[in-house]
Structure 1
């Protein structure tokens, strides 16, 4: 009698209405997240245009991308609080509202400073959307189908940034750079209107307190580190300024204090970013590998357009088309990788993926001022194939290893690490490129030769970093269906998946 009664609470969540509601919510979130993340890299190809139109150097122009990622890194930790405190619908409308407003500001920006403001507002909305998508999917998807669903999320997270330069190149071939935002604005407003009309509420808000001091600390920590790294690139020709070292020092100290405060607050479940997620080995290792791959991805995305246009002499359209095959390949592979994860687990995908990523990174080091664009194309396709093998297993292993109560914090941690690593990779690559190019220019090299030499050294640094992911990939453990003996115990998985049909979200 007791067993029969215990199954009754599951009945309502198994109803067709609930599964249809879940699919609708995830579809809306996937489409909207694709749109907002696309803007993260859409300005990469436009950097030479900004440098020319606004008379700014590369180290300054790259802030349209770095500021976007930096803002996300500062805002994402707060999303754990927002997701717990607000309904799914309210959180979604807040995110898309901010993104739409930021897009409007960018489209109307009279100068570089206002453009940066618009990118910051855009990024604030994007920062909320990504953890909301991940938390929602982990809540409504049973463990046995998470690989397939995370494969769709990987399309958003990996393909959207990869397609950004392609779309940007197509637009810039016929229109000024402001149209990169003018064309996106109607799409963002349409997503906002559709969400206002159709987005359901999937969670019950609960009382949650935001620790203001932790928010301030996170801004100093992540902002100081990324600003300091970017300052190194800007100071390559004039020497490192005292403010750069101060910024790096503030970032390091801020990070230490931030971590210490979270460790204290999480004892009473009041942390802004609950670091107990790292007590799960599968999560900690997966996030570490993720950081390495994100540094390679975003560093490459910022460097390749500059190399293609400045060194190889390609225009914006040709550069965008050059990057298109890699982006499409990532999208085509993502669903198959998700199904393979559900069947075989992460390691059989991660280890070869890490090797392929490193091979692609080393292929970039072969580029010279006289190289054929085909070599650049091949290197990018190889890198994209490796990343496609890695993203789905990493995200699924990381979040799937956590108990349900830590999903929102795990999503926030993953998003924060992703953006900080991307910003650090961007800043590092530009720093190395600028420093080496300046050295070669002082020796009498022209713009093409000095840029090619700087890019070569930057690619070497990226290739060396990519090697770290190979041994780390062997340490990621998991099994089909999300059970690995080191992650989610059966009870933890059941607490969020009981009564949810196995195909409720996997068919999205």
Structure 2
């Protein structure tokens, strides 16, 4: 490293860029009902604006491990912000749904680079003893940005239109680009390395086909040949991808990180937590606006207190991780999260606005104890040589779990709503069309939340069997000896 690293300047610039990248991930959530009406599309189609974004993130994150070897921190960060700017511009002027989706996918390409880059920078410039607090502040971007995104969008849409969400973002991204040119320095050395194109194609086809199949199951049914074919193709290519990573000397995604028990445990819990978190972000606005008739601004105001609590709790949970370890922190988080999910498994057409706001606050408190502490504890269990790959695996799992969870929950919601509509029509023919639509979608929402509750319970069971914190230096040395012996 030829330049001194000033963390007080480096981290705020990168955090601001990360915040804007992740903000785009959920900023359209409250606008989905309006977009469904404007473009005359169904929930299973419009949700691609969210799941497509996360899928591209998940596909690109493994490539970031290669990119961080090949290019400098400065080059990658500026490229990320450039892609985010181009994607945002296309979204702002999009004449139809297809162009809006293209813009979103370009945005996702930028966002997919920045988060693993930021986490790797933290691993380089902070000692293990201080990473919990540092990662807690990253939690402001990882948790607060997705939470505050719908709130910002709600205010903008109420006053203007959904296009102004993107128009307003453009000058902010440009400010980050200008600050990066002036203040950003490199924190790691580069090396000439080759990209495993075959692995990239396998992961792209695998994740893409699986998500496409899951997304279409809501409309076409789980017994549909098309759905089963795409899910099967996805699973086959993912199996081939995993096999290639395990036998490769220089894998795109080093799956040997899963030989570390703490990393494996935290990753398993993270999968379920991310599925719950992102599914709630898309399901709650659809319930509020489609089933209950609340406005976009009403939805934004309901989400605002939880977002603010989230901002306060993220650094606190990071400090608690440094002091008490991961297991008690995760248990605290789940003890808030599980009741919050259970509180929306029996929604009706009269469920109070206050009840929904309070449960959202509880959910956000719980998530602040889960997301970044789990990531940090998993990465701390790895030796330095696996830091970049651990970061890539963590972020890949987070994005793919979020996209699959969202697609799966929307599929359950759509399929169960249709099933309930048929049952209600048969048992109560006096219902009007609007009453039938309202009751069936509410019942479908309840079924989707019950599925999320099951995921939360499984996460709690895994946590209870999580091993106590180990001596990370000794554990790392032991694993390194085992890996060396195998080679």
Question: Structure 1 length normalisation: TM-score?
Answer: 0.89
SS at match of 1:221: helix
Deviation string 1:292-325 (CA, Å, 9 cap, x unpaired) is: 0000000111000011112222100110110111
Of 196, 199, 205 in structure 2, the residue corresponding to residue 211 of structure 1 is: 196
Alignment pair present for 1:109 and 2:89: no
The alignment yields a C-alpha RMSD, in angstroms, of 1.9
Alignment pair present for 1:248 and 2:268: no
Match in the other structure for 2:55: 70
Match in the other structure for 2:268: 288
Deviation string 1:162-214 (CA, Å, 9 cap, x unpaired) is: 11111111111111111111111111111112112221111110122110000
How much does 1:240 deviate?
4.9
How much does 1:366 deviate?
2.8
Distance in 2, matches of 1:325 and 1:264, equals 48
How much does 1:149 deviate?
0.3
Match in the other structure for 1:4: none
Of 106, 130, 139 in structure 1, the residue corresponding to residue 115 of structure 2 is: 130
Alignment pair present for 1:148 and 2:129: no
Cα 1:143–1:59 shift into 2, 3 Å: same
Question: Structure 2 length normalisation: TM-score?
Answer: 0.93
Match in the other structure for 2:484: none
Distance in 1, matches of 2:378 and 2:408, equals 26
How much does 1:241 deviate?
3.5
Deviation string 1:44-82 (CA, Å, 9 cap, x unpaired) is: 100011011111111111111011011111111100000
Q: Indicate if the aligned counterparts of 2:5 and 2:185 stay in contact, CA closer than 8 A.
A: no
Deviation string 1:357-408 (CA, Å, 9 cap, x unpaired) is: 1111111113211111111112211111111111232011111111112111
Distance in 1, matches of 2:310 and 2:61, equals 25
Distance in 2, matches of 1:140 and 1:282, equals 23
Match in the other structure for 2:448: 458
Match in the other structure for 2:385: 405
Q: Which runs of 5 or more structure 2 residues have no equivalent in the other structure?
A: 426-434, 481-487
Q: Which runs of 5 or more structure 1 residues have no equivalent in the other structure?
A: 1-11, 493-508
Structural mapping, 1:56-455, within 5 Å? 56-236=41-221, 240-265=223-248, 268=249, 270-442=250-422, 443-444=424-425, 446-455=436-445
Match in the other structure for 1:18: 4
Distance in 2, matches of 1:186 and 1:490, equals 50
Q: Indicate if the aligned counterparts of 1:346 and 1:477 stay in contact, CA closer than 8 A.
A: no
Match in the other structure for 1:505: none
How much does 1:33 deviate?
0.3
Distance in 2, matches of 1:478 and 1:180, equals 45
Q: Indicate if the aligned counterparts of 2:83 and 2:107 stay in contact, CA closer than 8 A.
A: yes
Distance in 1, matches of 2:167 and 2:49, equals 16
Q: Indicate if the aligned counterparts of 1:312 and 1:373 stay in contact, CA closer than 8 A.
A: no
Distance in 2, matches of 1:328 and 1:81, equals 36
Cα 1:485–1:357 shift into 2, 3 Å: farther
SS at match of 2:95: coil
Q: Indicate if the aligned counterparts of 1:233 and 1:427 stay in contact, CA closer than 8 A.
A: no
Q: Indicate if the aligned counterparts of 1:346 and 1:476 stay in contact, CA closer than 8 A.
A: no
How much does 1:487 deviate?
4.7
Q: Indicate if the aligned counterparts of 1:367 and 1:375 stay in contact, CA closer than 8 A.
A: no
Distance in 1, matches of 2:453 and 2:246, equals 35
Cα 1:382–1:80 shift into 2, 3 Å: same
SS at match of 1:366: coil
Cα 1:235–1:338 shift into 2, 3 Å: same
Q: Indicate if the aligned counterparts of 1:477 and 1:484 stay in contact, CA closer than 8 A.
A: no
SS at match of 1:18: coil
Q: Indicate if the aligned counterparts of 1:282 and 1:487 stay in contact, CA closer than 8 A.
A: no
Match in the other structure for 2:28: 43
Q: Indicate if the aligned counterparts of 2:291 and 2:349 stay in contact, CA closer than 8 A.
A: yes
How much does 1:23 deviate?
3.2
How much does 1:486 deviate?
6.8
Deviation string 1:386-431 (CA, Å, 9 cap, x unpaired) is: 1111123201111111111211111111111001110111111111
SS at match of 1:35: helix
Moved more, 240-249 or 173-182: 240-249
Distance in 2, matches of 1:314 and 1:95, equals 36
Alignment pair present for 1:474 and 2:464: yes
How much does 1:18 deviate?
3.0
Cα 1:331–1:240 shift into 2, 3 Å: same
Distance in 1, matches of 2:22 and 2:381, equals 25
SS at match of 1:320: helix
Distance in 2, matches of 1:42 and 1:53, equals 17
Cα 1:488–1:329 shift into 2, 3 Å: farther
Cα 1:483–1:151 shift into 2, 3 Å: farther
